Amino acid sequence: MDLKLKNILPMFVSLLLVSTSNAQSGVYDVTSANYGGKANSDITQALSKAWTDACASTSASKIVVPSGTYKFVGATFKGPCKAPIEFQLQGTLQAPEDGSQLPKADTWIGFERIDGLTLSGGGTFDGLGATAWKQNDCNKNKNCKSIAINLRFNFVTNSIIRDITTKDSKNFHVNLLGCNNVAFQHFTVSAPQESINTDGIHIGRSTGINITDTTIGTGDDCISIGDGTKQLHVTNVTCGPGHGISIGSLGKYENEEPVSGIFIKNCTISNTDNGVRIKTWPASPANGVVSDVHFEDIIMDNVKNPVIIDQEYCPHNQCTLQVPSKVKISNVSFKNIKGSSSTPVGIKLVCSGGLPCENVELSNIDLTYTGKEGSITSECKHIKPTINNVAQPLACATS
């Protein structure tokens, strides 16, 4: 055998063994020689290639983004994949500060049509949203430009998101659409109170979503529940700042699907505009349904509207209050809710004059107000709730 070939052969065999070992282990590290990603640089191509390889693997695989800070222009990671994938973000991914640089105006990072996704690692998705908040007028302008959501999950099933932070999104932090059996555990949402339209987790047309042991502080709803949400369980969530935990708004669009099986339990809500809320638009274009909704064991700390049903939700006078909401609310309970209100109206239940609320229960509610605008009270319209162990001022005193 030629001497040169003799020297090269062991090296080739060694490389082949390393390559085979990496393939068998199913670990796709974006900073490996295969992908060439480096800290403090753009890893868009490296991460996208790692996803393509992992998605094609016939056995379970893991994508790793090690500790460090990386630039990422944006992408939608699409399935279906051949086996489950763990996306382990140990470092920080940073979005472009200028939203016009994103591949999709309304999405920074998306996961689509994937079964068996695990998103983990203790890392952070940083949307660098401060500039976008200043330019965002969507709360007033119906024709505003789309702004990017940090994390979109479209048609994702049997998946878990745990030990991950989403920070300073330009728009909503998380949006779920058409998902089934997805869990959020030890998840963190972080944005300042002045961030506009930065809902923590928005859920729509999804079933079997579980959110547990999660901390959300942002500039809008901590959790917002859209039409078609069914069997949602929210447990041990800390919310604040923000606008509380809200069902809706509903009734603004045609063909909205029913909301049912909502269980919000053992949560703490602090220094927010609302506590637990159901909101629907008057002058609804079509009928809607909200039923089987239960808020229980909630602590309120300095919350403006601790318990609220608002079927006259009409921000910036974008609707006609004279036409009642067509969204029917029934079988709702507020149980064991304690703490402090930052306004005198501790309970506000304003239902539709066309479809009054039915089977609403208030039980074991103890809220205090220590401000200078009078004593604590309640406001109720088009509703006759069942009341158990609620002090008279909070028991629909103005009905």
Q: Name which of 159, 92, 149 is nearest 126 in CA terms.
A: 92
Q: Where are the domains of the chain?
A: 245-251+271-398
> In this structure, are residues 101 and 127 in contact, taking their beta carbons and an 8 Å threshold?
no
Distance of CA 335 to the CA centre of its chain: 24
Half-sphere exposure of 142 (CA within 13 A, CB side): 6
- Burial (Cβ within 10 Å: 0-12, 13-18, ≥19) of residue 364: middle
Residue 24 CB contacts under 8 Å (≥ 6 apart), including other chains: none
User: What predicted TM-score, i.e. pTM, was given to this entire model?
Assistant: 0.93
Q: Is 294 one of the catalytic residues?
A: no
The catalytic position among 243, 294, 316, 382 is: 243
Distance CA(369)–CA(355), nearest Å, equals 31
Distance CA(70)–CA(68), nearest Å, equals 7
* 3 state DSSP class of 103: coil
What radius of gyration do the chain's Cα atoms show? 24
List the chain pLDDT tens, one digit each, 399 residues: 454 444 444 444 343 333 433 444 699 999 999 999 999 999 999 999 999 999 999 999 999 999 999 999 999 999 999 999 999 999 999 999 999 999 999 999 999 999 999 999 999 999 999 999 998 876 677 667 779 999 999 999 999 999 999 999 999 999 999 999 999 999 999 999 999 999 999 999 999 999 999 999 999 999 999 999 999 999 999 999 999 999 999 999 999 999 999 999 999 999 999 999 999 999 888 899 999 999 999 999 999 999 999 999 988 777 777 889 999 999 999 999 999 999 999 999 999 999 999 999 999 999 999 889 999 999 999 999 999 999 999 998 644
Q: Name which of 380, 233, 349, 381 is nearest 294 in CA terms.
A: 233
Distance CA(314)–CA(279), nearest Å, equals 9
Say how many Å lie between the first and final Cα of the chain, rounded.
Answer: 99
